[in-house]
Amino acid sequence: MASVRQLVAGRQLLAPARLGAGWSQLFGRSVLLVGSTGLARILGFGFTIVAARALGPAGFGLVTFTLTLANMASVALFNSPAGLAPALVRASGSERRLVLSSYLTVIGVLLLASLVAAIPLGLITGLRGAVLAGLLANLIGITALTVYREVLRGVDRYGAVAAYNVACNLVQLVAVAGLWFFGFTEPVLYITAFGLSSLAAIAVVAPWAHVSLRPSLRDVNRERVSAAARFVAPMLLQTVFFMLWLNADVIVLKALAGLAPVGEYGVAKSLANAALLIPSAIATALLPQAARIGNKDARGYFVSLLVPVCAASLLPLAGLGVLGPWVLSHVFGPAFAAASGALVVLALGMTLYGVAITLDASWTAMSRPSLVMLGTAASAFVTLVLVVPLVLAFGMIGAAEAVAAGAAIKLAILVVVSLRGRPAGHPQKELA
């Protein structure tokens, strides 16, 4: 999964006449993150290419299925740190350590609960031994990835965010390339390398990121932890819906068609993520702007945001539509060419989702995570209703159509709410 925000001069909200300067700063950060995300995507594709070629459709199907289960088991982890960066932006000096300590307490409890819950989930779905351990390693890796990235964003280290994006994927690629070179073709090794890469990347980036912020148990108390938990709660529910939308296709396809089609479909889904290159970079850079937007400025902000995001998102979509099928058959191998139709549909779905995540990131920074939850719940509902009949009727293409339909309804809801500019209710209180 997945996080353009600075209409600020110093620490004050920019006046409407000065929005251009904020968008200029946003553009600069977005270019940095687009570049780093693009390189990270290329390295990520390298991981997929190496793993798919080394393991074949069935072996890569096991990798795809296990990582899908890791996503499902990480529902309490994937978005729970999302309030950390906005809270750090708003906090001053010594308050930042209090914010970090309280959020990490909540996230630590959620990680422990997720690890415990993942064991029976893995056993029920047929994972055993080292593969089950690889599932748990991925939960730890997801937590490290999301928390460290939010800390870097919260202390305005966007250069380090860019470096961390690249380092995670570079570590993955180097690890699996080494495995393949030395003849290791056990899927569990590739699963574990994927999961632990985010921890290794922290060791690479941390020495020069110069983040002096450190948590302390002495700074944890019930009031602060409760404040963090209240902000995290709707994000947890949103993540449940997100994981259902994102992973139902793979679960149903595996149940109805087996591991080989899952491997073919998994390659197409990985390639389709290229559609997220530009919007995900913008969403990550949004934080400082959106965190200080008021209701009276919201509609103008979203109009200014949507036009360039929609235009820029068409570029990777066109590229995938034209070149994607060729890449599947010639780069990944003829065994994966059957997923070409699914790739085109997935590319459209991910493009719609990419535009939606820029709205997600903005509303989360504005302390309205319940709006994000509403759109994601609708996407999950639509996908769950459609996925079984569509897979039965059209196989891999049907699975992709269910994903795309869910993304379309999410985007439609968020666009309507965003262009109203004044959503009902009040901002969610958070720790700051």
Task: Give CA separation, 20 vs 34, 197, 289, in Å.
Answer: 20, 39, 12
Enumerate residues 6+ apart whose C-beta is below 8 A from 310: 355
Q: Find tokens 């535009």 and name the residue.
A: 355
Closest CA to 158 of 21, 24, 28, 23: 28
Residue at 252 is within a domain: yes
Enumerate residues 6+ apart whose C-beta is below 8 A from 393: none
- Burial 212-233, CB ≥16 within 10 A → b, else e: eeebeeebbeeebbebbbebbb
3-class SS at 186?
coil
Q: Find tokens 């393991």 and name the residue.
A: 55
Name the pTM for this structure: 0.73
Q: Return the pLDDT at 294.
A: 57
Residue at 271 is within a domain: yes
Task: Give CA separation, 33 vs 30, 59, 162, 170, 285, in Å.
Answer: 5, 33, 6, 16, 7
Residue at 429 is within a domain: no
Residue at 91 is within a domain: yes
Residue at 3 is within a domain: no
Cα 48 from chain centre: 17
Enumerate residues 6+ apart whose C-beta is below 8 A from 119: 132, 136
CA-based R_g, the chain, Å: 21
Residue at 232 is within a domain: yes
| CB-neighbour burial class of residue 52 (10 A; exposed 0-12, middle 13-18, buried 19+) | buried
pLDDT, one tens digit for every residue, the chain (432 residues): 333 222 222 222 223 333 344 556 666 666 777 788 788 888 988 999 999 999 999 999 999 999 999 988 988 887 777 778 878 887 777 788 888 888 888 888 889 999 999 999 999 989 999 999 999 999 999 999 999 998 998 888 888 988 999 999 999 999 999 999 999 999 999 999 999 999 999 999 999 888 877 777 776 767 767 777 777 777 777 788 988 999 999 999 999 998 899 999 999 999 998 898 888 878 776 655 665 565 556 777 777 788 888 888 899 999 999 999 999 998 888 889 999 999 999 999 999 999 998 888 787 777 676 778 889 999 999 999 999 999 999 999 999 999 999 999 999 998 888 887 555 444 554 444
Contact 52/263 with Cβ under 8 angstroms? yes
Q: In the chain, how many domains are there? A: 1
Q: Return the pLDDT at 9.
A: 26
Q: Return the pLDDT at 431.
A: 45
DSSP 422: S
- Residue 1 C-beta-side C-alpha neighbours within 13 Å: 30
CA distance 103 to 48: 33
Read off the tokens for 78. 């994937």
- Residue 427 C-beta-side C-alpha neighbours within 13 Å: 16
Read off the tokens for 105. 């307490």
Number of neighbours of residue 294 by Cβ within 10 angstroms: 10
Residue at 28 is within a domain: yes
Residue at 240 is within a domain: yes
| CB-neighbour burial class of residue 321 (10 A; exposed 0-12, middle 13-18, buried 19+) | middle
Task: Give CA separation, 373 vs 95, 311, 386, in Å.
Answer: 28, 26, 20
Identity of the residue numbered 335: A
Give the structural domain span for 258: 16-420
